[in-house]
Amino acid sequence: MSNKIKKTNIRAIFLYLVMCGLAVVIVMKILFIQTLQPQISKINTPSFVPLSAARGNIFSDNGSLLAISMPLYNVYLDLSVIEDKIFVKESSSLAFGLSNLFKDKSSNEYLKFLKSNRNSKYLKLKNKVTYNQLKELKGLPILKLDKNKGGLIAEKRANRENPFGILAKRTIGLLRNSNPIGLERAYNKTLSGLDGLQLKQKIGKNLYRDEDSDLNLSPQIGCDIVSTINIDMQDVAHQALSSALLKHDADWGTVILMEVQTGHLKVVSNLKKNKDGSFDENYNHAIAKHSEPGSTFKLASILAGLEDSFFQLTDSIDTEDGTHKFSDKIMRDSKKGGYGKITLGQAFVKSSNVAISKVVNKYYKDEPQLFIDRIYKMGLCTPLDIELPYPNSLLIKKPGTKQWNSVTLPWMSIGYSLRLTPLHMLTFYNAIANQGVMVKPLFTTSVMNGGRVISKNNIEIINPAICSKSSIDKILPFLIKVVDQGTAKSIKNTNYKIAGKTSTTLLDYGLSEINTENGEENIKKYQASFIGFFPANKPKYSCIVLVNNPKKNGFYGGDVAAPIFKEISDKVFASDISLHQSIDNEIEKESLPFVSNGFSNDLHNVLEKLNIPFNAQQSQWSVADKKNNQINLRLRNINNDLDRNKIPSLYGMIISDAVFLLENAGLQVTFKGKGKIKYQSLEKGKEFDLGMKINLIAS
C-alpha cells in the first residue's frame, strides 16, 4: 500500500513539474513576443486610428450642390485567380456587361482585352469609376464572385466632385497641394472640419471594435458654404458666352452678373476656347485679369467732370474730322470723318473718343491730380477686398511720376493708360445702378453646419456715395440712350430697358503704334465689352461681358459683347419672378371703371357715390381719363366752342348730353344708336349757323 502511494506521489510530482515547466515556457514566450517581436505583439493591441472629418459641401444660392466629397475608384482585375472553366464560359458576358457599363469600347474589344491579358494579376480596367458604376461592376458575371475567385480589385481615391462640371469651376475652386484656388481655397479651414482619433481593437478580419479612452476625439464635420452663384443663370451665361466665342472665333471671354443692392455675384463665367473647339475654365479672368477697360471708363470721366461742375452733358463739342492731335499722338474716333459738333451727352452715347478726351483734357490738363482724385473717390484706384485671393496688378498712373506724360490724361479719359479687372469695372457700374452706393462683391452668403446657419456674410458697403445723386440722374438717361440709339442699339428691348456702355479696346495699344510707325504689318487685336444693368428704371442686376480678341463676324462691343448681355438679361428677366408684378395688381389698376366724358356735376355725383377716387378741374363739361390710379376729370371747352359758333369735339360723349347741348346751340341733330359718340358728321372747329344739320352715331 505504501509503495503504491509512493508511486502515485512521484507521478503527481512529475506531472506538477511538467505543468510548471510548460507555464514557464508560455510566460517566457509571451515576454519574448511582447519585448522582442512588436510586429506580432501589436497586431491585436488596441491602437489609435485617425478619423478624417468629412469635408463640407458648397451649395449654390438655391441649394444645388456645387462641390461635394465623393470617392472614386481605380479598378483592376486579377485574371489569374479565375478558373479556366468559368473564364471560358462567362468572359463573353463579362465583356458585354463592361461595354454596356462604360460605353467606351465594344464587347468584342473588351473580350479581346480580357483574353489577351488572361494571366495578368493587376490589369488596369478603368480609372475614376463612380460608386454606382462599381456597384454595377460587382454584379457582372465573374466579378460578382468572391474577390479570390472573381479577381476584382477596387482602389478607393479621394475625390471632390463638381456635379455641374465646368460651370463656375474656377470660382468653386480646387484644393490641391500647389496653387489651390477658388472658394475651396478661401474657405478651406471652414470646409475641412477637424480630424478625430479613436482607440480601436481588432476583433477579426477587417473588424475593429471602438475602445473607450480619454484621448478619443470625435471628428468634427466641415461646415457647408452657401455661395451666391445661381446655377441656372450661370448655365445661361455659359451657353451664351460659349456660342459667341465660337461665332467670333475669340480667345476667351468672361461674364459676371451681380445683384445690384447686395453685391451677390450670381454668375462668374470664364471661358477659354481650346484648339479643338471645346471650352475650359482655367483662369479667373473675371477677378484677376487686369486690362485697359476702354470706352466703358468714359462713364467715370464724365462723372468726374459733372462732380467738379466743369461741364454739362448739354455742352457742345467739336469732334472735328474725327481726329485730334494731343502732342505727337492722334486721337481717333471709330467713325471716319467724326460726328461734327455734338453735345457731350451725344458724344457719350456715340462713344466719341475725340469729344471725351478733348473735354477732359481741357478742364483737367493743368490739374490732372484732381481727375485722379475723382477716380479714387469712385473706388477705381483701390484694389477690391474680395473673398477670393487674386493677383493685384491694378494700374492707375499718377501725375508727376515717370509714367505720366502729356498724353496720359486724354488717353486715360477714354480708358487707356490704366489697368482694371472686369469685376472692378462692374462694381463701379453697379454703384451707379445702386444710386451711388458701392457694395462689395460677395461670393458667399452664409456658412452652415448640419443645416443650421452659423454665420452670415452681410452686405458690405465700400463707399456710401461714389458721386452725387444729381450726377447719376443726369447720366442715367444717356446710359439708356446707348442701348436705345447708340452703340448698343442692336440689343434694344421692348419688354424692359437696359442701361449700359459698350467698349472696343485696342489691345497692346502701345505696341500697335510702334508697329505702325515701323511700317510693319499690324494685326490689331481688340477686346469687346459691354457693362450695364437692368431693368434700367429699377435695376436689379448689373452685368459685364468681355470678349477677348474676336476675329470673325465683327469686333465692336455693340456687335460682340452686347448681344451676349441681351441673351443673358432676357432669360434672367423672364425667369426672375421678383421682377414682375402679379396680375392682381394689374387688375387692381384696371379696376377703375370706364368713365365717359360728360356733364361734370353728374360725373362728380356718380363717382362720389361709388367711392371712386377722382381729381377734377372746375368746368361744366369734363373729359375723363385714368391716371395714377384715379379718375381725372379735365376741362372740356364745349360751351366755349359753341358760344363761338364752332363745332366742338364730341367723341366719347354720351349722346343724350350731346343732343341737349347741340340743340340748345341751335343745331338740328339726328342720331343713331345709344351710349358714347363715335362719329360726328361736322368736324371739330368747323363754324356753324343756326339750323345747320349734324348727324351723330353712337356705339
Which residues contact other proteins by CB under 8 A? 8-9, 12, 15-16, 64-65, 68-71, 130-132, 135, 161, 163-165, 167, 203-204, 207-209, 231-232, 235-236, 238-239, 495, 570-571, 573-575, 577, 579-585
Residue 3: strand, helix, or coil: helix
Asked whether 543 and 265 are in contact (CB, 8 A), the reply is: no
CB of 228 to other proteins, least distance (A): 18
Q: At 489, is the secondary structure helix, strand, or coil?
A: helix
CB of 59 to other proteins, least distance (A): 11
Residue 1 CB, shortest distance to other proteins, in Å, is: 14
Encode burial over 416-425: b for 16+ CB neighbours within 10 A, e otherwise.
Answer: bbbbbbbbbb
Report the Cα 138 to chain-centroid distance in Å. 42
- Min. distance of Cβ 462 from other proteins in angstroms? 32
Nearer to other proteins, 588 or 663 (CB): 588
- Write down the least CB distance from residue 600 to other proteins, Å: 36
Which position has the grid cell 436705345?
484
Distance in angstroms (rounded) separating the CA atoms of residues 278 and 280: 7
Q: Smallest distance from the beta carbon of 574 to other proteins, in angstroms?
A: 5
Q: Smallest distance, Å, CB 211 to other proteins?
A: 12
Side chain identity at residue 249, one-letter code: D
Q: How far is CA 92 from the centre of its chain?
A: 50
Distances (CA, A) of 591 to 610, 622, 653: 13, 21, 21
Cβ(668)–Cβ(694) under 8 Å? yes
Angle at 78 between CA 73 and CA 82, to 5 degrees: 130
Question: Element (H or E) spanning 628, and its range?
Answer: none
Measured from the CB atom, the residue of 268 and 360 that comes closer to other proteins is 268
Nearer residue to other proteins within complex by CB, 54 or 448: 54
What is the b/e burial string over 436-449, where b = at least 16 CB atoms within 10 angstroms of the residue's CB? bbbbbbbbbbbbbb
H or E stretch covering 111: helix 107-116
| Closer CB to other proteins, 9 or 314, in the complex | 9
CA nearest 407: which of 513, 299, 314?
Answer: 513
Chain-centroid distance of CA 112 in Å reads 49
Shortest approach of other proteins to residue 165 CB, angstroms? Answer: 7
Q: Nearest-5° angle of CA 346, CA 489, CA 230?
A: 115
CA pair distance 126, 637, nearest whole angstrom:
90
* Residue number, 254 or 569, with CB nearest to other proteins: 569
Q: Which is nearer to other proteins, 234 or 319 (CB)?
A: 234
* Nearer residue to other proteins within complex by CB, 133 or 220: 133
CB of 216 to other proteins, least distance (A): 17
- Whether 290 and 548 have beta carbons less than 8 Å apart is answered as no
Provide the minimum distance between the beta carbon of 57 and other proteins in the complex, in angstroms, as a whole number: 9
What HEC string does 278-290 produce?
CEECCCCHHHHCC
Report the distance separating Cα 310 and Cα 360, nearest Å. 9
List residues bridging with 220 in a β-sheet.
194
Give 135 or 452: the residue with its C-beta nearer to other proteins.
135
Count how many Cα atoms sit within 13 Å of the Cα of residue 537 in the half-sphere of its side chain.
4
**Between residues 58 and 375, which has the closer beta carbon with respect to other proteins?**
58
Decide whether 234 or 284 has the Cβ nearer to other proteins: 234
By beta-carbon proximity to other proteins, the closer residue of 154 and 370 is 154
Minimum CB separation from other proteins for residue 513, in Å?
A: 43
Strand 614-616 versus strand 630-636 pairing type: parallel
Half-sphere exposure of 266 (CA within 13 A, CB side): 22
Toward other proteins, which CB reaches closer, 237 or 642? 237
Q: Between 16 and 660, whose beta carbon lies closer to other proteins?
A: 16
CB neighbours of residue 522 within 10 Å: 13
What is the identity of the amino acid at 82? I
**Rounded least distance, CB 580 to other proteins, Å:** 5
Closest listed residue to residue 447, CA positions, set 189, 166, 160: 189
Identity of the residue, 237 or 347, whose beta carbon is nearer to other proteins in the bound complex? 237
Q: Which is nearer to other proteins, 148 or 581 (CB)?
A: 581
Q: How far is the CB of 161 from other proteins (least distance, A)?
A: 6
| Beta carbon of residue 528, minimum distance to other proteins (angstroms, whole number) | 23
Residue 568 grid coordinates: 443673358
Smallest separation (angstroms) from other proteins to the CB of 578:
10
Please count the other Cβ atoms lying within 10 Å of the Cβ belonging to residue 118: 13
For residue 91, how many other CB atoms are within 10 A of its CB?
Answer: 19
DSSP bridge partners of 533: 499, 542
Long-range contact set of residues 574-583: C-beta below 8 Å, sequence gap at least 24 = 575/232, 576/540, 578/540, 579/496, 579/535, 579/540
